[in-house]
Amino acid sequence: IQLWLMFILLLVVSCYIFFSFMPISWTGLPCDYKEEFLSYLEHYQLTVPIRVDQNGAFVSFTVKDDEPSSRRKRSTDLYDQASKLFFKLSAYGKHFHLNLILNTDLVSKHFTVEYWGKDGPKWKHDLLDDCHYTGYLQDQHSTTKVALSNCNGLHGVIATEDEEYFIEPLRNITENSNHFSYESGRPHVIYKKSAMHQRHLYDHAHCGVSGNKESPWWAVTLPAAPTGLEHHRRQKRSVSIERFVETLVVADKMMVGYHGRKDIEHYILSVMNIVAKLYRDSSLGNVVNIIVTRLIVLTEDQPNLEINHHADKSLDSFCKWQKSILSHQSDGNTIPENGIAHHDNAVLITRYDICTYKNKPCGTLGLASVSGMCEPERSCSINEDIGLGSAFTIAHEIGHNFGMNHDGIGNSCGTKGHEAAKLMAAHITANTNPFSWSACSRDYITSFLDSGRGTCLDNEPPKRDFLYPAVAPGQVYDADEQCRFQYGATSRQCKYGVRKQSLCCIFCLSHLCILYSQMFG
C-alpha cells in the first residue's frame, strides 16, 4: 500500500511541475495590467520560471534567495556556488534552460546611486544587490545569448538564433492575489521583440546623430574602413587591448514617476546589464567593458539642465551638464576626496517621447555625438526609455560615440537580401539582429581606438568585491531546501527519529519518512 501511495504522490508531483511550465493564458490578468501591456504588445505569453540545477532538476520556485545583509568577501567555493544560476521556463512552444553567471564587472568598486533634487544631491548610497547575470542557453553556448537580472523576478533578454525574447515579472499581482499563488512560482510576461508595437519596435523610428558645433553630423570626418594589411594590423592591435568605459547613467524625473523609486535602480542596472552584454559580443572585434560608475536619479528639474521632446537641445544641455559634474580629480583608479566617481561616458535615459530638430513627439529614440568618446563635452547620449529594449538604443548611441556610422550610410554594410540588420542599422525592424555588430561597425570602432582617441578607456577601474552572505550554507538554506538541492523538489527534512546521516526523505506518510535510500535502493 505504501509503495502504491508513493507512486500516486510522485505522479501528482510530476504533473504539478509539468503544468507549472505551461504558458498561462492572459485572460486571467487584472484589467489594468492587460490594458497597460496591450497598449504596446501585440502578443505575449505568461510563464513561471523555476530555479533548477545544471542538469535541469527542479530546485525552487524562488528566483532569488533572500540573503541576510551581513556580508563578507568571497571564498572560491561559495563564490562559485553563488555566482552560477540555472533556470527553466517555457513559452512559444519552446523550453529554455538558462545557464547564467554573475556579472561582477557591471559596476565599479566606487559605484554610487545619487538622488538629486532641484538644489543638487539630496542623498546617496553605495548598496548593490548582486543580481545581474549573463550567459546562454544550456548546450547552445555559441548560438545563444542571455542577459538577465533576478533582483525582483527575472528581467532581461534571451537571444536565440531565430528571435529575441524579453522577460519581466508580472506586475500588479500581490501574494494575496486570487489569480496566482506564489507558492507555485511567480508568473512572468515573456514576449518577442517582433511582437512589440511598431512605435516601440522602431519600425518607423530612427536614431539621430549629432556632430560637433562647427559641422553638421554628416560633415564630420568618419574613419574609413581599413582594408588589406592595414586592416589586419589594426584589428590585431585593438583586440589585444581591453577597454573600460566608465559610465554615468542619469534617469530624469519622468523615469522616477513611471518606474517608481522602489524599482528604478534595479530596472536601470538591468538595462545596463544588457548593454554590457552587447559590447562583449565577439562580432565587435574588440574587448569593451561597459562599467557603471555612477547612477544619478533626478527627482526634480535641474536649474542648468533642460530636458524635453527636442532631442538636439536636450542632448546639448545634458552634455554640458554632465561635464559640469564630472570629477576631474580622479583617473578612475582612485576615489577622490569628494567621493564622486569618474566617468568616461554619460547616458541620459528619459521618458520623454523625443524628436530630432523639434520639440514635439516623433519616432526618434536616441541621439549621440559621432566620435565623441573621451571628449568631456561630447561623450554623451540621450535615450528614450521604451522598456528593456532601451538597451539596444543605448548600445547603438554609445556606438556613435565610438565613431560608428549607420550601416549602409557611407559604407557597404546595409542589409543584403535576407541578411538580418545589425545593431547600427538606422532603422531597426522586427528582422534586426541587435546582438550582432556589422563588419563596418567593427572597423569603425577599431579605427577609432587605434587612432589614439580612446585612451581614456585604457585604465581599469577597481573591481567591486563580490559579496555573499557571511553565514554557513545551512543558515542560508534551511534543511528542507538543502534536501531539495540534493534530491529534488519533493524531498524534505526527515524529523522522525532517523539517523543523522539520513537527513533527507522524499516525502512523509503518516509520520513515516520515505528515505532517499529506501526509494532508490
Which parts are annotated binding residues? 396, 400, 406
- Please enumerate, by residue number, every residue annotated as part of a binding site for Zn(2+): 396, 400, 406
Residues 486, 487, 491, 497: is their CA dihedral positive or negative?
negative
* Rounded alpha-carbon distances, angstroms, from residue 372 to 219, 222, 238, 454, 456: 14, 11, 19, 10, 12
> C-alpha cell of 88?
527553466
Residue 156, Ramachandran bin (φ over 0: left; ψ between -120 and 50: alpha; else beta)? left
Q: Which residues of 435-453 are buried (b: 16+ CB within 10 A; e: fewer)?
A: bbbbebbbbbbbbbbbeeb
Check 246, 384, 397, 481 and give the catalytic one.
397
**What are the φ/ψ torsions at residue 486 (nearest 5 degrees)?**
-85, -40
Residue 315's H or E segment, with its range, is helix 311-324
Residues 417, 421, 425, 429: is their CA dihedral positive or negative?
positive
**3-state SS string for 178-227:** CCCCHHHCCCEEEEEHHHECHHHHCCCCEEEEECCCCCCHHHCCCCCCCC
**Diameter over CA atoms, the chain:** 88
Whole-angstrom Cα distance, residue 509 to residue 2? 8
One-letter amino acid of 152: N
Residue carrying the nine cell digits 520639440: 359
In the residue annotation, 397 being an active-site residue is answered as: yes
List Cβ neighbours of 346 (8 Å cut-off, separation of 6 or more). 247, 248, 249, 250, 318, 319, 322, 379, 380, 381
* Rounded alpha-carbon distances, angstroms, from residue 111 to 71, 126, 277, 374: 17, 6, 19, 20
Whole-angstrom Cα distance, residue 480 to residue 465? 30
Answer yes or no: are the C-beta atoms of 440 and 459 closer than 8 Å: no
Whole-angstrom Cα distance, residue 514 to residue 470? 34
One-letter amino acid of 344: D
**Residues acting as catalytic residues:** 397
